[in-house]
Amino acid sequence: MFRHSVEIHKVSMNTIQEMIDSDFLEEIGIPQIVHMFDLLPNTLFWIKNQNSQIIYANQAFLDTYGFKNLARVVGKNDDSLSPPHIAKQFMMDDKKVMSGELVTNRVELNLRPNGEFSWFSTTKRPLLNRRNEIVGSYGFTNHLERSSHEISSISAIKAPVEFIRKNYHQDISIEELAKLAFLSISALERRFKKYLSKTPKRFLNEIRLENARRLLIETQQPIMEIAYQCGFSEHSYFSKQFKAFFGELPSQLRKKSLQSNLSGGTI
């Protein structure tokens, strides 16, 4: 499936390239085109190489992460910019994109540098060279709380989403979430799928797993205790869900985290 997506993307890129006046682009210079993204104050734009290292970032990106100039961020990857459990997810995302999985206007909750969660709309694409080889990725993300239109769109599920974020460790039923949104269960599920591309149950599960990963990396608590704290009553089910979502068992992540701490590096 991924390979097929890449082929479709390459075909579309070839078609676009035939329409573009390459001589004109050569004359004005690619750097000037890239710097145009500095004119988008509410949009973070970046280019990464195959190792998820920043090659270019616009001014909004620099401002968000507190960098005074581009030289300070070039060569860094996400584990230098975000908490370990968030950085790992971003880099896994990059690998999927470079394998052909396109991300288009995906609405998501991300942790901001100030420690607060906010809504974002993210688009990512593989970066191709002139031989149509994937050499990295690029992307945009928009802070939705600065867009009244987008906020009005996701307000329908704001109450249940906030409830899940604050109470993920408790036993939460879909019926309870539907009541919070003043919707039927079927209507709630439709809206979650429309705005988050997932069911309420899956969103709850992912929030629990994200918090479990954070605790595995940032604390020394026993894995069974972390599972329980994050709303998983069965250790085997927790391990199965964790591996399906992150590609490794909780014990494997904990081992890598301990080794990284001993070596003074990052995961």
Domains for the chain: give ranges and CATH numbers. 2-146 (3.30.450.20), 149-263 (1.10.10.60)
pLDDT value at position 176? 95
pLDDT value at position 2? 40
What whole-number distance in Å separates Cα of residue 74 and Cα of residue 66? Answer: 14
Spatial CA neighbour of 169 closest among 116, 211, 122, 137: 211
Enter the pTM of the model: 0.57
pLDDT value at position 259? 77
**What is the DSSP code string of 48-100?**
EETTS-EEEE-HHHHHHHT-SSGGGTTT--GGGTS-HHHHHHHHHHHHHHHTT
What whole-number distance in Å separates Cα of residue 54 and Cα of residue 49? Answer: 7
- Residue 242, token pair as written in the block: 């964790």
- CA distances 36 to 27, 47, 139, 257, Å, are 16, 14, 15, 40
- CA distances 246 to 101, 218, 253, Å, are 16, 17, 9
Q: Percent of the chain having pLDDT more than 90?
A: 33
Could you read off the pLDDT of 38-75 as tens digits, one per residue?
888 788 999 999 999 999 999 989 988 888 888 999 99
Which of 37-41, 118-122, 246-250 bottoms out in mean pLDDT, i.e. has the lowest? Answer: 118-122
pLDDT value at position 3? 44
> What is the CB neighbour count within 10 angstroms for residue 28?
9
pLDDT higher at 123 or 27: 123
Answer yes or no: are the C-beta atoms of 151 and 42 closer than 8 Å: no
Could you read off the pLDDT of 182-205 as tens digits, one per residue?
999 999 999 888 877 789 999 899
pLDDT at 149 > cutoff 90? no
> 47 by DSSP, 3-state: which?
strand
Mean pLDDT confidence for 214-224: 90
Helix, strand, coil content of the chain in percent (nearest 5): 60, 15, 25
pLDDT value at position 196? 75
pLDDT value at position 1? 43
Could you read off the pLDDT of 66-115 as tens digits, one per residue?
888 889 999 998 888 876 667 777 887 888 899 988 888 777 666 566 55
The model's confidence at residue 116, banded by pLDDT at 50, 70 and 90, is: low
Answer yes or no: are the C-beta atoms of 227 and 209 closer than 8 Å: no
